[in-house]
Structure 1
């Protein structure tokens, strides 16, 4: 009976969440409907609509939190909902064209989601009896509870559909997608919202009697309390592990304080991850009164400050050599935030931790607002670094780049890195003197600058860059005819190093043969096998690609002779004519015609 009652209570909680966040539910329904349409139609160029609905979901949830905390009248609630709709529409019309994917827009939209998530947690705690630590803990518990239920429900639905498909009748794969869409787009977010406590609202502050207020606060304290198991996990496992790692990190910093630490950014991800861990654990430990939690709160904010300062200074020093990228912008910005957080944790009482959330939201907002956003600043920095380096080596006159191979290696690395960054972010089209070359920068780098691209340890430092980065395609204009009279079969083959290729069957003189690729002895082999599963012939396909890359004389275009590799044994002869080869950072991709002759 208790289980039935709990299930009924949870369903009542879901219904209450729908009533509490009506506009959010409307956006969720629209989002789920859009996903269903896309699953059925397999349409393209939909990212703009998906992002807009997601922004609407987050905005409407925050609007409800603002209403509950500061307002009382339904008319005010409607105005806040209307404001969320207006902002969602404004987002839709300001994010640019409906291109399927744009990295900069995706990152900025992700930052918007992050800001709204922090606001969702922080707003109910403004001048309230509930602290930011407790609200954060409540959201933390709700997230992992929702994740558990979602995984269980998804697995259950998956097994049921599999059983129906295997035992009763065939089930279209889109049924699974539609089912998971409903779980992820509707059930999971509404289930999460049902765990959001009913904080003491503005209306209740003025209308509740002292007895009702006491009962309300008692219920609220139960919702934001720390589970005993979670208290043990934080106090006796996570805090000790964090302490051990901190000691190791401090020893390393002291040993290398005058060495390569200041110019080696390999530790950046580790230091950032460490800082995030300390801040999250500190906020969670703020709700716990064990000895280990109290000591952690007293000591670790003060330890965090010098570690983060070291990391931030090291990142700033790296800018002098490599310019500012959007990634390093966020690393430095996080360093500033973590330093401020360490100071606030050290001087403010625990109940004032909400100021850390304010600082985080402000800095996050700065990172997406032009002209001081991460992408604008990084574009200007990289452009200036490239232009300055070219001018120092007399390689830029007006809007023309002059090839020059006789420049210091350090400058070659700077030019290679900045050009790679600007082209990968599609910024080259907006730079007046670089725009005329934008279609050639990737494949004719040497012709433009006079040397092949080389990169540092974070890129692709290689004295023989042709084997590390190479692209070429077959030029059929000169000799478009390929003779096949000596061969029994021709197979059009695509080889991608990062994925498994399907086996291809061919028939010669009533005998069946199979062609496929497989890793053997650490090498990728192209294998021809007969119907008795005996290997007729096996060749190293990557060795063929490297041979062509190192011997071809033309730039990015292969003649028939250059693109052809023949090999044979007593049983068969294979002729590979590559139509495209792409070698990049030990990744091998190719397309070729395979001519087979069985002897």
Structure 2
């Protein structure tokens, strides 16, 4: 029985033709793969040139793909082709020189915005003419399906090769470095996956008259995506009704749900766009019309949520992007409702332009956010006499927890995102010396605590999962500097970080052969302990309700004397004492309830 013959000649010829068609794209992939291999091999990022080369190579891969598609659409005239490639090299060289030796998180965000803009540009680079809408859709359908196919082939081939390497390792006792697996993965993603994908990219000049439409795509959209979009619509409108009834501000989380719903709806309509005029599918036009109409109230809800966050906390990169997406969705809805053309190329072209504009310039996300947060910090510090005549002063009078928490948050942001560039002149030499003392690699700006110390302030943290002005949480802490006398007690039970995730929580502790039982009842804000047929009840509801005003003070924990968080109970057989070290409460349906408790339980057994 003859073994099946591998068409190696055909594979090599197809690979060669793909290289001739996309040479600079594949050279970028090969360069990036080699650079990442070197980073893995040296197991160090001390050489700043390698990470920067990896970033530029990844960006070059998609940039040259866009330029080569455009050149192909224009007939691949040598002069135009080489002019475009020279432009690409010049842009990448400029970007490499623009990158700092140690790219911070801001540069990662900028890089992601550029990648999004270039990926969107790849969808329409070969279809810049006003017409050829069908060719545009067919081209992107082919790219989407080819991308899925390439990912499947790459994953299966990688797993197969990994199993083969493991077999050699186990069966023949060949010692294989663990780096082989990571290098193989990088090669499969960077070279094989890219080459395989490019081999299936259709010629954009041959697609305008193609009318193929996968039936499975229509079924998936009609019976999976659109029902999910409708479900999200019902949920969002129900939440909007709740807001109107209770007359409360929308929660910040609703922004992501509205953006997700809008994206899913637009994507669904794009998938079934070619068959909207065919017999039996006229419902698509009706659905599209009502979908865009339904967007308007939700976009108002989204803009209100963003406006509240911007009003209270200023603009950050994340809020800038959410606001830009909200305005873009508004423009898309207006365009597809009232424009005569309704060309689907409007979607990637406008979104790509927004992503590119947000990445650079004084109008970009980074510059606008830095100015906004610097202005907020200047206002707060001036109000509390921490900034006088443009120079930082040590704190002279106590700064409220609310202001300390805001200053901490802004200083931490300016350090992580902008390396204090906009406020270094306020601090002068003391801050400059902190920059000189930092490590050569890794820490890109001085620690927030060190910068706050220059103002005489301590780091003041807000509760996790909340923002400064959300009056839904508060925390109480016992003063750790106090020493308490615990003489006369026999046992100490540590109560570590109890989160009240159910209406009633039970816990058992072993004391010799006996069992101490703890029961927490959230609705009553009560903690019960049962031992030797006795029950001690510690009602904390009055404590919670008395201090609920703390929720208005930016969520900063309030330090209380330890004796205010010390409770005693006397029983016939057992004397109990509960020392709370930390307590958090959360607002639910208009009332505050315990959400977290830490402390110690002391017991004295009576004769």
Do they superpose with TM above 0.5? yes
Partner-residue secondary structure (3-state), 1:125: coil
Partner of 1:455: 462
Offset of 1:52 from its aligned partner? 1.2
Is the CA contact 2:317–2:366 (under 8 Å) kept in the aligned structure 1? yes
Offset of 1:56 from its aligned partner? 1.8
Is the CA contact 1:393–1:407 (under 8 Å) kept in the aligned structure 2? yes
Aligned: 1:229 with 2:241: no
Partner of 2:58: 54
Partner of 1:104: 106
Pick from 137, 141, 147: which aligns with 1:137? 141
Change in 2 beyond 3 A, CA 1:76/1:429: closer
Partner of 1:183: 188
Change in 2 beyond 3 A, CA 1:408/1:217: closer
Paired with 1:395 and 1:263, the residues of 2 have a C-alpha distance of: 34
The 5 Å alignment of 1:431-580 reads 431=423, 432-434=425-427, 436=430, 439=446, 441-442=448-449, 445=452, 448=455, 450=457, 453-455=460-462, 458=466, 463-464=475-476
Partner of 1:316: 307
Is the CA contact 1:66–1:124 (under 8 Å) kept in the aligned structure 2? yes
Partner of 1:389: 380
Paired with 2:304 and 2:10, the residues of 1 have a C-alpha distance of: 53
Offset of 1:253 from its aligned partner? 1.1
Offset of 1:360 from its aligned partner? 1.1
Unaligned runs of 5+ in 2: 435-445, 481-506, 510-594, 596-607
Partner of 2:403: 411
Paired with 2:255 and 2:397, the residues of 1 have a C-alpha distance of: 33
Offset of 1:321 from its aligned partner? 0.9
Partner-residue secondary structure (3-state), 1:370: coil
Larger RCO of the pair (alpha carbons < 8 Å, separation 6+): 2
Paired with 1:522 and 1:271, the residues of 2 have a C-alpha distance of: 44
The 5 Å alignment of 1:126-525 reads 126-127=128-129, 129=132, 130-168=134-172, 169-200=174-205, 216-217=206-207, 221=210, 225-257=212-244, 262=249, 264-289=251-276, 290=281, 293-348=284-339, 352-398=343-389, 399-403=391-395, 406=398, 410-431=402-423, 432-434=425-427, 436=430, 439=446, 441-442=448-449, 445=452, 448=455, 450=457, 453-455=460-462, 458=466, 463-464=475-476
Change in 2 beyond 3 A, CA 1:243/1:263: closer
Pick from 119, 123, 127: which aligns with 1:121? 123
Offset of 1:74 from its aligned partner? 1.7
Offset of 1:59 from its aligned partner? 1.7
Paired with 1:338 and 1:5, the residues of 2 have a C-alpha distance of: 50
Paired with 1:244 and 1:444, the residues of 2 have a C-alpha distance of: 49
Paired with 1:423 and 1:347, the residues of 2 have a C-alpha distance of: 46
Change in 2 beyond 3 A, CA 1:355/1:165: same
Partner-residue secondary structure (3-state), 1:463: strand
Is the CA contact 1:64–1:77 (under 8 Å) kept in the aligned structure 2? yes
Paired with 1:287 and 1:11, the residues of 2 have a C-alpha distance of: 36
Cα deviation per residue 1:421-447 (whole Å; 9 max; x = unaligned)? 223324325412246456564258478
Paired with 2:245 and 2:415, the residues of 1 have a C-alpha distance of: 36
RMSD, aligned α-carbons: 3.4
Change in 2 beyond 3 A, CA 1:180/1:441: closer
Offset of 1:35 from its aligned partner? 2.3
Paired with 1:115 and 1:231, the residues of 2 have a C-alpha distance of: 28
Partner of 2:19: 18
Normalising to structure 1: TM-score of the pair? 0.68
